Amino acid sequence: GQQLNQSPQSMFIQEGEDVSMNCTSSSIFNTWLWYKQDPGEGPVLLIALYKAGELTSNGRLTAQFGITRKDSFLNISASIPSDVGIYFCAGDSGNTPLVFGKGTRLSVIA
């Protein structure tokens, strides 16, 4: 089945640093989604991307839908302690269920 390769698996950064994570797939997706999951909670949608090449921002978050439709990245600028959590990418091909990556665990050191 479809799989998403998400990297890095985990990151330890200093408060104030910028963060970048990405997701790649061997399959084409129509939609790329980025979620954040806090401990003990369900994932929360951060950004949705609907068109190849699309660059979308949400506050300090910026995400892009790759031109090939097989990849996406998420950047977080000027990280703060509440950015700690697990970030998941998810791809939607329209015909099959959402496919999630394995997540990037972000730790922020104050």
Partner 1 sequence: EAGVAQSPRYKIIEKRQSVAFWCNPISGHATLYWYQQILGQGPKLLIQFQNNGVVDDSQLPKDRFSAERLKGVDSTLKIQPAKLEDSAVYLCASSLGKGETQYFGPGTRLLVL
Give the DSSP H/E element, type plus range, for residue 19.
strand 19-25
Query: Which x/- pattern, by CB under 8 A, does the window 45-64 give for partner 1?
Result: x--x----------------
Size of the site for partner 1 (CB under 8 A): 19
Site string for partner 1, 7-46 (x = CB under 8 A): ---------------------------------xxxxxx-
If the CB atoms of residues 19 and 23 are measured against partner 1, the closer one turns out to be 23
CB of 84 to partner 1, least distance (A): 17
- The token pair at 56 is 């979308």
- Assign 61 to helix, strand or coil: strand
Written as six digits, the tokens of 20 are 């970048």
Question: Per CB under 8 A, which region of 11-19, 65-73, 76-84, 89-97 contacts partner 1?
Answer: 89-97
Distances (CA, A) of 57 to 9, 27, 54, 77, 107: 23, 25, 10, 11, 22
Distance of CA 70 to the CA centre of its chain: 13
Residue 101 as a binder of partner 1 (CB under 8 A): the answer is yes
